Amino acid sequence: MLKFGTDGWRAVIAEEFTFPNVRLVTQGIAAYLQERGLKGKVVIGYDHRFMAENFAQAVAEVLAGNGFEVLFPDRSLPTPVTAFAVKHYGAIGGIMLTASHNPPEYSGLKFIPEYAGPALPAITDAIEEAIEKIAAGGPIKRVDFAAAQRQGLVHSIDPRGAYLEHLASLVKTDALRRAKLKVIVDPLYGAGIDYLEEFLARAGCQVEVIHGHRDPLFGGSLPDPSATGLSDLSREVVRRGADLGLALDGDGDRFGLIDADGTYITANQFLPMLLAHLLETRGWRGPVARTVATTHLLDRVAAEYKLAVKETPVGFKYIGQALLEGAVLGGEESGGVSIYGHLPEKDGILATALAAELRVTTGKPLQAVWRRLGSRYGQLVSRRFDLHVDAQAKRRVLDCLKGYAPGELDGRKVSGRLTLDGVKILLDDGSWVLVRPSGTEPLFRLYVEAPDERSLQALAAAVRDDLKI
């Protein structure tokens, strides 16, 4: 059974991610669309992974064989640009070939509905049901790619120009143009190459690029804009005297930030800074959405402006729904963000462009903006711990979590318990901890937020001691 996880179906190339399985999944998506009476155009996007364009052609063949009009790009597309293309061309949906920031041996496929955001569980459940029926003996319809082109079933598209124009409507490019910001861009060999650097150069920034060519092995590392993954960018920002380092993941939907002194800025730091910036410079008012694992500093900023905060399970699909319902900003601690007026899909290109805008508008390094935010709303430190266990220990901890409701942790009184996604314990001093099991691996993720590093480590130790992990 091929399963859709938090962000689509992902598997190791040549093991489970094969041409027959890609065709099977695509036929399932086609059946889902047909059962709902949806006809018309479907956008295809693909990243820089091994044979991504070949797998994308296999997807196009099945869609064409099922009577859909296929919009096929001449080159790789970042995930947010594929989502943008769904709206721009009035398509009934899109299929993106990507494994995002996973290791190079992985590839993946996800369906983007007509609203241009991640598919909700009800949609992926229906697609999985369709796949199961087809795997039991249903036909997979195909038209050869070249033949489909000749028959007018596959049309070439290039949404890049329209996307960059839309981006310019969301970012204050006049402020960038006046500042002459010096930026180093690191697309990590991914599908985001030529997007952020082109946008910033047009806006008058001095732009240099590293890792700006396709490499399906991603330089022998992960295409993940984490502190570890951006060591090269950090070093180059300092060496070249840049104001900012901006990075994307393998499919351009997540962001990474490096300050002028080489310091990595986390998503939990940037999101509250961005929210305060947007509220002050745009005058926007409306709900704010964050996942259960994301910083509560967003709540403190929102509270000053009397804005509601919607807390969601982990997964940008839930954030996307909040954006569709009017949220002014939605974000997650893993590096995903989108804003009012954009797509209900995380977009690293937009996020990094807004980071550049914030930098020139405040006239200060991001760390100085962060310190000013802390003095205004109170400092918070956040961290995620990945706790590996064996299968037996995982079952034991899951049983413990069902009734885990301590009265206090590290001498701090418990003020609440949430089970929206995992078990989250709220403490009366504003600290919190969250324990979530991985759905696919024998590990637990422990998220902790506290006023300082000592308190954070003490809370983490207390939870691990309670649960014996």
Name the CATH topology of 9-158.
Answer: Alpha-D-Glucose-1,6-Bisphosphate; Chain A, domain 3 (3.40.120)
- What type of residue is 234? S
d(CA 278, CA 270): 12
pLDDT band at 441 (very low <50, low <70, confident <90, very high): confident
How far apart are the two ends of the chain, measured CA to CA in Å? 31
Which residues, at least 6 apart from 62, have a Cβ–Cβ distance to it below 8 Å?
23, 26, 27, 30, 140, 141, 142
What residue spans define the domains of the chain? Answer: 9-158, 162-377, 381-467
pLDDT digits (tens, 9 = 90+) for 177-232: 999 999 999 999 999 999 999 999 999 999 999 999 999 999 999 999 999 999 99
d(CA 61, CA 23): 8
pLDDT band at 440 (very low <50, low <70, confident <90, very high): low
pLDDT digits (tens, 9 = 90+) for 53-98: 999 999 999 999 999 999 999 999 999 999 999 999 999 999 999 9
Q: Using a cut of 0.85, tell me whether the model's pTM lies above it.
A: yes
Secondary structure element (H or E) that encloses residue 243, with its range: none
Give the three-class secondary structure for 436: strand
Name the CATH topology of 162-377.
Answer: Alpha-D-Glucose-1,6-Bisphosphate; Chain A, domain 3 (3.40.120)
Crossing angle of helices 79-88/160-170, nearest 10°? 90
If we measure between CA atoms, which residue out of 90, 94, 91 comes closest to residue 109? Answer: 94
pLDDT band at 15 (very low <50, low <70, confident <90, very high): very high
At residue 357, φ and ψ (nearest 5 deg) are -60, -45
Tell me, yes or no, if the two domains 9-158 and 162-377 fold the same way.
yes
Phi-psi region of 172 (alpha: psi -120 to 50; beta: other; left: phi over 0): beta
Secondary structure element (H or E) that encloses residue 201, with its range: helix 196-202
Which residues, at least 6 apart from 38, have a Cβ–Cβ distance to it below 8 Å?
92, 93, 114
Phi-psi region of 286 (alpha: psi -120 to 50; beta: other; left: phi over 0): left
pLDDT value of position 4: 83
Across all residues in the chain, what is the average pLDDT?
Answer: 96
CB atoms within 10 A of CB 299: 18
Give the three-class secondary structure for 127: helix
Share of the chain above pLDDT 90, in %: 96
When pLDDT is averaged across residues 130-144 and rounded to a whole number, the result is 94
Least trusted range by pLDDT, from 22-31, 135-144, 434-443:
434-443
pLDDT digits (tens, 9 = 90+) for 243-298: 999 999 999 999 999 999 999 999 999 999 999 999 999 999 999 999 999 999 99
pLDDT value of position 2: 83
List, edge to edge, every strand of the sheet that includes 443-450.
381-388, 443-450, 432-437, 423-427, 412-418, 408-409
Question: For residue 138, is pLDDT > 90?
Answer: no
pLDDT value of position 357: 98
pLDDT digits (tens, 9 = 90+) for 368-378: 999 999 999 99
pLDDT value of position 260: 98
d(CA 335, CA 292): 14
| 248 touches 254 (CB < 8 A) | yes
What superfamily in CATH does domain 381-467 come from?
Alpha-D-phosphohexomutase, C-terminal domain (3.30.310.50)
